[in-house]
Amino acid sequence: MNSFNTDEDTKKILQKYNHCRVKIYTFNQSRYPRINKESLLPVAKDVSYSGENTEAWYPPGHGDIYASFYNSGLLDTFIGEGKEYIFVSNIDNLGATVDLYILNHLMNPPNGKRCEFVMEVTNKTRADVKGGTLTQYEGKLRLVEIAQVPKAHVDEFKSVSKFKIFNTNNLWISLAAVKRLQEQNAIDMEIIVNAKTLDGGLNVIQLETAVGAAIKSFENSLGINVPRSRFLPVKTTSDLLLVMSNLYSLNKKKKTPTLHRYFYKNTDIKL
């Protein structure tokens, strides 16, 4: 899933893989207008995306995947091909691969009742204090993000001893369930209000959603605690330098970087 900011660049990169036997699909997420914090009106003067209007739009977070995937037609295409589950992950997570053990659990559940939504969580360290965590409320699993926590409770939320796991954003979701909920308009996600300042100094707000927040809308949802190796995000040059270094070797079978056991896991590079 691309935004309007990344779509063209992604298509150029994917041309290199035209000879591969794997079909790579792309689709665009929505484009929402930024809102002036003072007037609470859209910053955009019209619906164009050029000139002064470029900064007036934003992609509304990865929670938009359900609507955009449905609207793209790909959901119906995959269901028509007999596919049952999608594996969703952040594109910068190099540890996110299709795990056949989890897939087998989905297809052959021990209790005979299939899960519609599985979230991979992993043990929290002090480097992960901002990560969302799973809670149970009214008989349903719910994702709580730091942006939703009142300031008075932020330190409590960051506690490694109180909240021991965090969401890796590796998700396994039933295609049939996405179609059913989307057509019933029944996917319920909390709105995250994100304050930003544009280059010209204008204060704006963006209304965003997180893909994992929909967990409460699905039936028989599950959280699975996975090894830390399935969460390896590369967001900065420092992160990239770390996985390119000889602290890691490439697992040729899984095509994922593997940290050598004798190195301390929380190696930190500061440039």
Residue that the structure tokens 């559940």 belong to: 109
* Residues 261 and 166 reside in one and the same domain: no
Distance CA 61, CA 190 (A): 12
Domain count for the chain, please give it.
2
pLDDT at 261 over 70: no
Cβ-based burial of 29 (10 A; exposed 0-12, middle 13-18, buried ≥19): buried
Least confident of 67-71, 80-84, 239-243: 239-243
* Residues 49 and 118 reside in one and the same domain: yes
* Residues 221 and 266 reside in one and the same domain: no
Range of 258's domain? 234-270
pLDDT tens across 173-227, in order?
999 999 999 999 999 999 989 999 998 899 999 999 999 999 999 999 999 999 9
* Residues 131 and 260 reside in one and the same domain: no
Q: Which of 130, 164, 196, 235 is catalytic?
A: 235
Tell me, what CATH number does 212's domain have? 3.90.550.10
* Residues 168 and 36 reside in one and the same domain: yes
pLDDT of residue 171: 98
Whether 235 is catalytic: yes
Of 68, 62, 88, 90, nearest to 194 (Cα)? 62
Q: What is the DSSP letter of 228?
A: G
Rama region for 255: left / alpha / beta (φ>0; ψ in -120 to 50; rest): left
The verdict on residue 21 lying in a domain is: no
Q: What's the pTM?
A: 0.90
* Residues 44 and 168 reside in one and the same domain: yes
Highest-scoring range by mean pLDDT, 15-24, 154-163, 181-190: 181-190
* Residues 158 and 242 reside in one and the same domain: no
